[in-house]
Amino acid sequence: MIHVSLTHYLVVSAFLFSFGLYGVVTRKNAVMVLMGIELILNSANINFVAFSKFGNYGLNGQIMALFVIILAAAEAAIALAIVLNIYKTFAHVDVDKINNLKE
Amino acid sequence: MNQSTFLQILPFIILSAGIVVAILVEIFTTKGKALLPAFFSVLFLANSLLSLAQINVSSNLYQMLALGGKAAFFNFIFSIGALIAVMSSVNYVKKYGANFGEYYILLASSVLGMMLMAGALDLFVVFLGLEVMSINFYILAGINRKKKTANEASLKYFLLGAFATGFVVYGIGLIYGSAGNTNLNFIINNFTRLLKMPLFVIGLGLFFVGFSFKIAAFPFHMWVPDVYQGAATSVTGLMSTIGKAAAFSVLIFAISPVTFNGAEHIFRPYFATLAILSTLYASIVAIAQTNLKRMLAYSSIVHAGYMSIGLAAGNVYSVAGIIFYLAAYTFMNLGAFGVIAIVEDENDGKTDLKAFAGLHKKNPMLAGFMALFMFALAGIPPLAGFFGKYYVFVGAIKQNLLYLALVGITASLISVYFYLRVVVYMYFKDEEEDFEIKTDYPGMFAVLVSGIFVLIFGVFPSILMKLITSVLR
């Protein structure tokens, strides 16, 4: 039986953060990039909750995680609306091909 | 809560209640579009006066929100800036095909977010303010959903903005974990002790990187030109000025251990690098731009660089300089974007240099104001932009950072070229495109107000400087 300590949580969250970062940088589909951003935000949530549990810092961290979840939901709603508009005007959602503005 | 505290949070209450009322008006009547600009103008005017009245009283709300003092001064800038932006939007959004009531509601909500950021005493509030501001900006950038340019700007702004937010949140998580608290005053007081923890340093680094995206400094600037060019001109004016001021207000608070506690200058290498790269890179690239909105986007990167010089120096003098600079920059840039919004036509056209050729003959008043803003942005002496730079550079020299001041001066010499080119096109070239400029009263009023502020802050800088130094004590 492995004893799960703070370090384990931090390692998992660091991995999630890196995966999110990798997803944002390499993915071409706007929806996949969005998922990368969600991974980054949720890795931060794991940190908050883990610190709150192991550090005896009170409930601040848990509340902060709730804040992040709510704002991430708002952000996702906006993002999907933007992606939908992109699909309507460009007929695709490939982030790399959306660069009409460069001269 | 006593009466004076209530008076101090009144700007927040007024704005929040105003937004709710505006949403109801927009839902239940069809007159929203016509009523809301006037409604929000009155709200912003009231807020700016209320904030100005409370600058000398400083207190806080449950250790979460600073009231009065520096926060009130920033609220004053935000409110006046938003007022100018609303004025220059009235006619512009009709041209742009985005004459919705939501436009003004989103604008007001973004200002609410900025007010939270400027007053934040807790990392919770920083994050909340940042998100409230950014989410509204993402929508505002793409407010006309039929335009390709607006959609592209909106998507790019969202992807990079949300990415930056991810950094900020992860950073806050690590800071919370190592400090055990999210209160900013607690973190600042224990700064030297916390600095020995690697997690805290990493968290702080991520926090700064996230905010470097928001202030649009060099290695994190890739979204700026596209977003500023593609978004509606009035929105660009808003997010390049008071949006940037809000991000800087958080950074100024974050470097206060350097200013007040005499902690080692650990931020200096980071901000010095940002400053050197942003000023030199962007001022050179801006020369090649022919689209004025894109040129002003690069110019905003240069100005973020000048302000980073102040952050690198980190003494009281340079912090006061940054705040002065932010106030001056708000008015000169909003004025310049106000002029562009008037000249621009229905299809995003007439924003390039050619459209401004011979403007002097078509509309001398508009050309005069544009020249004033360009001189101010270039930093020609008796105007606001000069004193902003002057105070920041002197702050750097006082901290023995002569090389940063020299880099700043070199960059401002380079940037004189592309600002004055606009003036040369307006006064010494014949018009190349035959079109009529339709001026409107609200738009001209916005330009006039910005122009007056640029002149007042330029001719009597000590008025503003005294106010800022009294706030920083």
Residue B18 has pLDDT above 70, yes or no: yes
As a whole-number percent, the residues of chain B with pLDDT over 70 amount to 98
pLDDT tier for residue A103 given thresholds of 50, 70 and 90: low
pLDDT tens for residues B320-331?
Answer: 889 999 999 999
B340 in any annotated domain: yes
In a domain, B249, yes or no: no
Whether the predicted pLDDT of B468 surpasses 90: no
- The answer to whether residue B394 sits within a structural domain is yes
Sort residue B99 into left (φ over 0), alpha (ψ -120 to 50) or beta.
beta
Is the pLDDT reported for residue B110 higher than 90?
yes
pLDDT band of residue B78 (cuts 50, 70, 90) is: very high
What are chain A's domains?
A: 6-90 (1.10.287.3510)
Q: pLDDT band for position B347 (50/70/90)?
A: confident
pLDDT score, position B257 = 66
Note the pLDDT of residue B129.
92
pLDDT reported for residue B84: 92
Which amino acid, residue B311?
Answer: L
pLDDT at B148 over 90: no
User: Where residue B168 falls among pLDDT bands split at 50, 70, 90?
Assistant: very high
Q: In terms of CA atoms, which chain B residue is nearest residue A77?
A: B135
Asked if pLDDT for residue B95 goes beyond 60, the answer is: yes
Q: Domain for residue B420, yes or no?
A: yes
Q: Residue B60, SS3?
A: strand
How many Cβ pairs within 8 Å bridge chains A and B?
A: 122
pLDDT digits (tens, 9 = 90+) for B379-388: 888 888 888 8
Which residue stretches of B180-291 are H helix?
184-189, 191-194, 198-215, 224-230, 233-254, 256-261, 268-287
Which of A43, A55, A101 is the closest to B149 by Cβ? A101
Per-residue confidence (pLDDT) for residue B291, from 0 to 100:
86
Does A64 contact B176 at a Cβ distance shorter than 8 Å? yes
| Per-residue pLDDT at B143 exceeds 80 | yes
Please choose, from the candidates A61, A22, A24, the residue with its C-alpha nearest in 3D space to the C-alpha of residue A45. A61
Q: Which secondary-structure segment (H or E) carries B59? A: strand B59-61
Q: Examine the pLDDT at B318 and tell me if it is beyond 80.
A: yes
Confirm whether B202 is domain-assigned.
Answer: no
Q: Looking at CA atoms only, how far is residue A4 from chain B in angstroms?
A: 17
CA distance A73 to chain B (A): 11
Q: Is the pLDDT of residue A92 over 90?
A: no
| Separation of alpha carbons B470 and B462, rounded Å | 12
Q: Measured between CB atoms, does A3 come within 8 Å of chain B?
A: no
Of A17-21, B236-240, B318-322, B357-361, the range with the lowest mean pLDDT is: B357-361
Q: What is the percent of chain B where pLDDT is above 90?
A: 18
- Give the mean model confidence (pLDDT) for residues B204-225: 87
Judged by CB atoms closer than 8 Å, whether chains meet at A40 and B155 is answered as no
Chain A residues near residue B127 by CB distance under 8 angstroms: 64, 67-68, 71
Segment B176-186 shows an average pLDDT of 85
**pLDDT (tens digit per residue) in A29-67:** 888 889 999 999 999 999 889 888 887 787 888 888 898
Residue B459 scores a pLDDT above 90: no
Model pLDDT, residue B350: 80
What total of structural domains would you count in chain B? 1
Q: Looking at the domain assignment, is residue B374 inside a domain?
A: yes
| Residue B82 predicted with pLDDT over 80 | yes
**What is the per-residue pLDDT across B152-161, written as a single tens digit (0 to 9) for each?**
889 989 988 9
Q: Read out DSSP for B62-73?
A: TTTEEESHHHHH
Q: Among residues B124, B123, B89, which one has the least CA distance to residue B106?
A: B89
Question: Cβ contact (<8 Å) for A57 and B180?
Answer: yes
pLDDT of residue B221: 84
pLDDT tens, position by position, B408-448: 888 888 988 989 888 888 888 877 777 777 778 888 888 99
For the ranges A48-52, B286-290, B314-318, the lowest mean pLDDT is seen at B314-318
A29: three-class secondary structure by DSSP = strand
pLDDT reading at B87 higher than 70: yes
The per-residue pLDDT for range B227-268, each reduced to its tens digit, is: 998 888 889 999 999 989 999 999 888 887 666 565 556 778
Spell out which residues of chain A touch residue B130, defining contact as CB-CB under 8 Å: none
- Is B257 contained in some domain? no
Tokens encoding B248:
């800087």
The answer to whether residue B369 is domain-embedded is: yes
Is the model's pLDDT at B361 over the cut of 90?
Answer: no
